[in-house]
């Protein structure tokens, strides 16, 4: 016997039955694209092409097109990379960790979050390839036996670990996402005719819906959840080590791994909220993505935002407590140096404004949530910029102190990833079911309003 | 399901606890006798030691300091080699010394003895030119003020050394070991009590259903907090000089009493930290932590009791709100308490991860103890509705947070090891590259990671009380050792480690603490119903099943 406490609010409202779920979600896949979708898609393509031009130029001419200088060797490139990888964290957290924690509210948002993860990781990878300068030699990061003498990757380098961590994360996320899609593709297949039926049938690997198939499906989901849970922690941990294994003041601090992970979840949830709030309205999914879902996500944002806040304060305190002159300088320079505005933006957007979510009214307000979710992502971009750029721009030799000013190619390459991300997401939202129908149906009995 | 079930703290159980207490006292008494006896051998080590270290002391060091180091090294030899076979011990510790110099001063985890010598020479030259009394201190190789500190700090390096040697001298006294054990157990059990409150708080905030049935167990843990508060404050007032090197006033005086001679023990790093590390503020902070924790525990406990009586759902919602308040304050106070009580035993060391690392260790210990309670209560016929599904969840918690502890522990280690800078690497040099602590260093890793990781890997293992009992006992002991490793090296120097007296002194002291701790929380557990009978999630807990 399964019991759901009366204090728990329903997760599916509007008296939805099984067939309503199928109908409400499939109709977006089956219908013609809406005008709003077409406008958005065109807009994304324009950005993609403009960004593509900038990226091509960067590759053709070399990374001298960026605003890097002798002191600041990493700036927007790695900032953007870390930002996108961070965003890519929510998908696996929602689908894997929340699955292990039996959080039923994840079922309505996991599909879109996982898709977002995959696109975000691809965007992140763009910067890794781009910042190599010679992208056609990108395969050199792989430990391949080669004909170049004893040329071999440096296994001691955190950048090397990154290659393994992110490629593993990408692969597992992709498999996880796709396995979840299979039964839903089968549902669409059942309703389709002609060539569509063939395509969706092939995508569903001819899913037969037998009890045995379902049982395998459940087992695979659980195993993948188990496998990807450590990945959620490991990816951003290793990204943080790109900095923390160095001895640059402001980069080398032991709290980096867990604090990066918390920050990643923080920004990932914010991005999921930004996307889902729009999708929810355009696709009329208010009964599936309820205020309860939004409130739960806001609570996660509040928690992780506060963890990040504690980490900022810890870093600052320890920089003073350490008595190490350079450490203290790095932090003073962050907060009061020429980049004070970046630090102030980071503190405001990441630590102060998310505290508004302590108010139930704010947590349950769509407008506030939307605004704050965007603010969080702005803040998280600034966080990476602050960490990367302000730690580098005033190094040990005052004669080489410098400032960074982005060129149009810095901006254009960043725009490229936005174009890419939104193009992919819009295609996903049009041709794939945005909500996991099979899993939502699984909680209808226990957690819908219909039940009560 | 018997919702009105009550835990009865039987006289049999009490008797067992009193017997544990008695055995603990007995072991401790034997241990004290052994320690006192060892200190009689002290003098023997003394003479050998001074000869051995004479070469390491620079020209202008006084004979008194010379004696001090010798003294220490004697103690070192004694402890490691058990019966004070000074011949072998001395050669042993002299190797040790060379290694420590290489690592502690020049902060190179990897340097061999050749580079160690050259480093040492270079260092001594610098120090000598600054007229510092460099004393090659054996016990303390945690000087973080390396060459990277800039000219002003460099001048101090030598002074620090002398100061540490001085500190080392009085640390060796055998009563320090008892004081250290009191502090170690106090911090360990206070943390577990705090984790009990933390557990119910995050379960409330996360709207957890499965744990409602066992909620009273972690809730009872909080009852030990007042005792911990009294003990902590008492120990701090009585023994602050033994536990915390930075409490010595003379470290902060730049000149000696005559007003002209530079104080060789003057420590600029500690002067820099004085705004935070000063005794009045330190005591006030500790009082504030306990005041917050105890008052929030009392609040949650009150709501819990009222919910039992009235069955009103509003107490649940109030508990959720106050749990959130607890979690926020916990997030700040826990880290600060870890810095204060543990990290500042080695006042030059700093690590931003430290607070979270201590949290991870406390949390796993607390989870393991909650699990042990559930399993043992079930064995005694209580909590009949708690079944293997609940055990499975507890097992997952133990598994997951053992991995989490390893994660935090390893990241801290890896980053410090990898960067290898003098400001921080001494922490691991002292623990990883010394005879006294290297075995424990790896033991902690094996017991706290590999053991629970492998033993709780399978689904079936997590669902069996017997296995959980064994693993959780291991986890608790392993994390006690983890705390031992945090505290002992800075307070005792090389005089710690696993020796025969450990079986009496440390084990005895821990048994005394454990029996008092258990007595307190079992009493608290028997005061209210064993099941929070009107908890709105209780139905979910009763019918809980894991897919």
Written as six digits, the tokens of B327 are: 């979690």
* In a domain? residue A56: yes
- DSSP, collapsed to helix, strand or coil, labels residue A448 as strand
Place of tokens 């993948």: A224
* pLDDT for position A90: 82
* pLDDT for position A133: 85
* In a domain? residue A3: no
**Whether B371 contacts B395, CB under 8 Å:** yes
* pLDDT for position A197: 93
Angle between helices A76-87 and A211-244 (to 10 degrees): 150
Question: What's the sign of the alpha-carbon dihedral A335, A340, A343, A349?
Answer: positive
pLDDT in tens, chain A (452 residues): 678 888 888 888 888 888 999 999 998 899 899 899 999 999 999 999 999 999 999 999 999 999 999 999 999 999 999 999 999 988 888 888 888 888 888 889 989 999 999 999 999 999 999 998 888 888 888 888 777 666 778 888 998 999 999 999 999 999 999 999 999 999 999 999 999 999 999 999 999 989 999 999 989 988 888 888 888 889 999 999 999 999 999 999 999 999 999 999 999 999 999 999 999 999 999 999 999 999 999 999 999 999 999 999 999 999 999 988 899 999 999 999 999 999 999 999 999 999 999 999 999 999 999 999 999 999 999 999 999 999 999 988 999 999 999 999 999 999 999 999 999 999 999 999 999 999 899 888 887 775 54
Instruction: Give residues with Cβ within 8 angstroms of B409, minimum separation 6.
Output: B357, B360, B445, B448, B482
Q: Which residues of chain B have pLDDT under 70?
A: 41-172, 547
**Whether B402 contacts B448, CB under 8 Å:** yes
Q: Please indicate whether, in this complex, the C-beta atoms of A310 and B353 are within 8 angstroms of each other.
A: no
CA A160 to CA A175: how far, in whole Å? Answer: 23
CA B322 to CA B303: how far, in whole Å? Answer: 10
* In a domain? residue A133: yes
* pLDDT for position B41: 66
CB contacts < 8 A (A, B): 102
Q: Please indicate whether, in this complex, the C-beta atoms of A247 and B421 are within 8 angstroms of each other.
A: yes
* pLDDT for position A450: 56
Q: How far is residue A433 from each of residues A80, A188, A189, measured CA to CA in Å?
A: 29, 9, 12
Dihedral, CA of residue B274, residue B280, residue B285 and residue B290, to nearest 10: 150
Q: Please indicate whether, in this complex, the C-beta atoms of A314 and B335 are within 8 angstroms of each other.
A: yes
**Which of B288, B195, B271 lies closest to B479, judged by CA?**
B195
**Which of A85, A22, A25 lies closest to A238, judged by CA?**
A85
Dihedral, CA of residue A9, residue A11, residue A14 and residue A16, to nearest 10: -140
* In a domain? residue A367: yes
**Which of B467, B354, B245, B37 lies closest to A322, judged by CA?**
B354
Residues in chain A, overall count:
452
| Candidates A3, A318, A323; nearest CB to B543 | A3
Q: Which residues of A touch B349 (CB under 8 A)?
A: none
Beta bridge partners, B255, equal B262
* In a domain? residue A4: no
Beta bridge partners, A448, equal A12
User: Which residues of A lie closer than 8 Å to B, measured between beta carbons?
Assistant: 1-8, 100, 102, 218, 222, 230, 233, 237, 241, 244-247, 252-258, 306-307, 310-311, 314-315, 318, 321-327
**Which of A42, A37, A128 lies closest to A428, judged by CA?**
A37
**Which of B470, B195, B446, B462 lies closest to B338, judged by CA?**
B195
Dihedral, CA of residue B367, residue B368, residue B370 and residue B372, to nearest 10: 170
* In a domain? residue A408: yes
Nearest CA in chain B to A257: B411
Domain count, chain A: 1
* In a domain? residue A2: no
* pLDDT for position A452: 47
Per DSSP (E only), the strands in A357-396 are none
| Candidates A230, A254, A321; nearest CB to B353 | A254
* pLDDT for position B68: 42
* pLDDT for position B501: 87
Structural domain boundaries enclosing A270: 18-144+151-445
DSSP structural state of residue A337: S
Q: What number of CA atoms fall less than 13 Å from residue A305's CA on the CB side?
A: 29
Q: Please indicate whether, in this complex, the C-beta atoms of B536 and A7 are within 8 angstroms of each other.
A: yes
**Whether A258 contacts B353, CB under 8 Å:** yes
Q: What number of CA atoms fall less than 13 Å from residue B284's CA on the CB side?
A: 6
ipTM higher than the 0.90 cut: yes
Q: Which residues of A touch B542 (CB under 8 A)?
A: 3
**Which of A129, A97, A128 lies closest to A113, judged by CA?**
A97
Written as six digits, the tokens of A75 are: 């700036």
Question: What's the sign of the alpha-carbon dihedral B428, B430, B433, B435?
Answer: negative
Q: Which residues of B touch A106 (CB under 8 A)?
A: none
CA B194 to CA B521: how far, in whole Å? Answer: 12
| Candidates A3, A246, A258; nearest CB to B408 | A258
Q: Which residues of B touch A4 (CB under 8 A)?
A: 540
CA B386 to CA B211: how far, in whole Å? Answer: 10
Q: Please indicate whether, in this complex, the C-beta atoms of B149 and A325 are within 8 angstroms of each other.
A: yes
**Which of B360, B416, B205, B194 lies closest to B286, judged by CA?**
B194
Q: How far is residue B508 from each of residues B91, B106, B181, measured CA to CA in Å?
A: 33, 39, 10
Task: Name the maximum alpha-carbon separation found in chain B.
Answer: 79
Q: Which residues of B touch A326 (CB under 8 A)?
A: 148
Q: Please indicate whether, in this complex, the C-beta atoms of B537 and A6 are within 8 angstroms of each other.
A: no
Instruction: Give residues with Cβ within 8 angstroms of A24, minimum separation 6.
Output: A16, A284, A285, A287, A288
* In a domain? residue A244: yes
| Candidates A257, A314, A327; nearest CB to B355 | A314
Place of tokens 């930075």: B246
DSSP secondary structure, A129-160, as one string: HHHTS-GGGGGGGS----SSTT----TT-HHH
Q: Which residues of A touch B423 (CB under 8 A)?
A: 322, 324, 327
Q: Which residues of B touch A253 (CB under 8 A)?
A: 352, 415
Q: What number of CA atoms fall less than 13 Å from residue A56's CA on the CB side?
A: 6
CATH number at residue A385: 1.20.1630.10
**CA of A101, closest CA in chain B: separation in Å?**
9
- DSSP, collapsed to helix, strand or coil, labels residue A14 as coil
A211: number of Cβ within 10 Å = 7
CA A386 to CA A350: how far, in whole Å? Answer: 13
| Candidates A100, A241, A323; nearest CB to B273 | A323
CA B436 to CA A423: how far, in whole Å? Answer: 61
Q: Which residues of A touch B537 (CB under 8 A)?
A: 5, 7
CA A74 to CA A79: how far, in whole Å? Answer: 8
Nearest CA in chain A to B276: A321
Query: B142, B350, B545: best mutation site toward chain A, by most A Cβ within 10 Å?
Result: B350
**Cα radius of gyration (chain B):** 25
Q: Please indicate whether, in this complex, the C-beta atoms of A318 and B352 are within 8 angstroms of each other.
A: yes
**CA of A155, closest CA in chain B: separation in Å?**
13
Q: Please indicate whether, in this complex, the C-beta atoms of B403 and A4 are within 8 angstroms of each other.
A: no
* pLDDT for position A447: 79
DSSP secondary structure, B107-174, as one string: --TT--HHHHHHHHHHHHHHHHHTT------SS-------GGGHHHHHHHHHHHHHHHHHHHHHHTSH
Written as six digits, the tokens of B252 are: 């902060």
Q: Please indicate whether, in this complex, the C-beta atoms of A218 and B547 are within 8 angstroms of each other.
A: yes
């Amino acid at each position: 016997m399964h019991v759901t406490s009366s204090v728990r609010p329903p997760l599916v409202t509007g008296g939805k039955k099984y067939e309503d779920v199928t109908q409400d979600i499939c109709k977006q896949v089956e219908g013609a694209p809406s005008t709003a979708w077409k406008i958005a898609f065109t807009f994304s393509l324009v950005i993609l092409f403009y960004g593509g031009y900038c990226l091509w130029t960067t590759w053709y001419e070399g990374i001298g097109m960026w605003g890097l200088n002798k002191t600041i060797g990493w700036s927007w490139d790695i900032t953007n990379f870390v930002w996108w990888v961070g965003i890519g964290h929510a998908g696996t957290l929602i689908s894997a960790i929340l699955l292990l924690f039996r959080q039923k509210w994840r079922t309505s948002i996991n599909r879109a979050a996982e898709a977002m993860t995959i696109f975000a990781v691809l965007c992140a990878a763009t910067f890794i390839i781009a910042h190599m300068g010679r992208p056609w030699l990108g395969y050199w990061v792989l430990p391949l036996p080669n004909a170049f003498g004893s040329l071999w990757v440096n296994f001691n380098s955190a950048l090397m670990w990154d290659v393994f961590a992110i490629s593993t994360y990408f692969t597992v996320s992709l498999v996880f996402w796709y396995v979840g899609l299979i039964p839903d593709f089968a549902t669409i297949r059942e309703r389709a005719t002609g060539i569509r039926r063939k395509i969706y049938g092939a995508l569903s690997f001819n899913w037969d819906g037998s009890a045995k198939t379902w049982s395998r499906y459940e087992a695979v989901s659980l195993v993948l959840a188990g496998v990807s849970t450590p990945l959620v922690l490991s990816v951003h941990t290793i990204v943080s080590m790109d900095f923390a294994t160095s001895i640059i003041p402001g980069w080398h601090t032991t709290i980096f791994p867990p604090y990066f992970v918390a920050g990643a979840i923080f920004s990932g949830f914010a991005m999921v909220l930004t996307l889902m709030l729009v999708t929810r309205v355009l696709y009329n999914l208010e009964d599936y993505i309820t205020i309860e879902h939004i409130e739960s996500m806001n609570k996660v944002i509040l928690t992780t935002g506060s963890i990040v806040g504690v980490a900022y304060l810890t870093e600052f305190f320890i920089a003073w407590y350490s008595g190490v002159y350079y450490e203290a300088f790095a932090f003073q320079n962050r907060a009061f140096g020429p980049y004070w505005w970046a630090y102030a933006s980071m503190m405001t957007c990441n630590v102060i404004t998310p505290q508004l979510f302590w108010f139930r009214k704010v947590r349950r307000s769509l407008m506030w949530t939307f605004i704050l979710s965007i603010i969080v992502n702005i803040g998280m971009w600034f966080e990476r910029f602050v960490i990367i750029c302000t730690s580098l721009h005033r190094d040990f030799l005052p004669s080489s102190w410098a400032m960074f000013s982005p060129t149009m190619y810095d901006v254009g390459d960043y725009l490229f990833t936005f174009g890419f991300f939104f193009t992919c997401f819009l295609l996903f939202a049009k041709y794939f079911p945005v909500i996991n129908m099979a899993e939502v149906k699984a909680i209808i009995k226990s957690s819908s309003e219909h039940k009560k | 399901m018997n919702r009105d079930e009550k835990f009865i703290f039987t006289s049999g159980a009490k008797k067992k606890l009193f017997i544990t207490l008695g055995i603990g006292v007995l072991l401790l008494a034997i241990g004290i006798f052994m320690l006192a006896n060892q200190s009689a051998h002290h003098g023997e080590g003394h003479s050998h030691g001074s000869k051995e270290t004479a070469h390491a002391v620079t020209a202008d060091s006084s004979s008194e300091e010379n004696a001090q180091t010798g003294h220490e090294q004697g103690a070192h030899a004694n402890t490691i080699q058990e019966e004070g076979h000074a011949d072998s011990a001395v050669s042993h510790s002299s190797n040790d010394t060379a290694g420590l110099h290489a690592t502690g001063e020049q902060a190179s985890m990897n340097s061999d003895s050749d580079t160690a010598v050259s480093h040492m020479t270079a260092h001594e030259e610098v120090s000598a030119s600054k007229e510092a009394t460099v004393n090659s201190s054996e016990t303390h190789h945690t000087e973080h003020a390396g060459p990277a500190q800039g000219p002003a700090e460099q001048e101090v390096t030598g002074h620090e050394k002398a100061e540490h040697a001085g500190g080392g001298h009085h640390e060796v006294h055998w009563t320090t070991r008892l004081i250290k054990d009191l502090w170690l157990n106090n911090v360990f059990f206070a943390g577990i009590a705090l984790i009990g409150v933390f557990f119910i708080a995050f379960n409330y905030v996360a709207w957890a259903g499965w744990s409602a049935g066992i909620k009273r167990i972690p809730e009872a843990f909080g009852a030990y907090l007042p005792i911990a508060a009294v003990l902590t404050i008492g120990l701090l007032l009585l023994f602050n000089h033994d536990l915390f090197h930075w409490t010595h006033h003379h470290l902060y005086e730049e000149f000696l009493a005559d007003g002209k001679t530079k104080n060789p023990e003057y420590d600029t790093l500690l002067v820099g930290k004085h705004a935070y590390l000063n005794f009045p503020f330190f005591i006030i902070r500790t009082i504030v932590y306990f005041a917050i924790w105890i008052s929030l525990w009392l609040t949650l406990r009150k709501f819990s009791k009222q919910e039992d009586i009235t069955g009103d759902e509003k107490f649940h919602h109030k508990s959720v709100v106050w749990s959130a308040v607890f979690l926020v304050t916990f997030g700040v106070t826990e880290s600060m308490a870890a810095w204060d009580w543990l990290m500042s035993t080695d006042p030059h060391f700093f690590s931003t991860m430290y607070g979270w690392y201590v949290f991870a260790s406390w949390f796993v210990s607390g989870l393991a103890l909650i699990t042990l309670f559930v399993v043992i209560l079930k064995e005694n016929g209580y909590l009949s509705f708690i079944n293997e599904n609940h055990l499975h969840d507890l097992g997952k918690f133990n598994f997951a947070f053992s991995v989490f502890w390893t994660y935090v522990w390893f990241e801290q280690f890896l980053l410090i090891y990898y960067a290898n800078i003098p400001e921080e690497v001494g922490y691991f040099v002292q623990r990883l590259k010394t005879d006294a602590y290297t075995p424990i260093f790896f033991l902690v890793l094996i017991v706290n990671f590999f053991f629970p990781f492998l033993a709780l890997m399978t689904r079936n293992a997590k669902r069996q009380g017997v296995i959980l009992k064994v693993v959780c006992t291991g986890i608790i002991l392993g994390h006690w050792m983890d705390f031992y490793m945090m505290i002992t090296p800075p307070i005792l120097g090389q005089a710690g480690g696993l020796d025969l007296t450990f079986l009496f002194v440390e084990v005895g002291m821990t048994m005394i603490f454990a029996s008092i701790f258990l007595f307190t929380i079992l009493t608290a557990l028997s005061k209210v119903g064993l099941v929070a009978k009107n908890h709105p999630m209780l139905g979910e807990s009763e019918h809980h099943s894991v897919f």
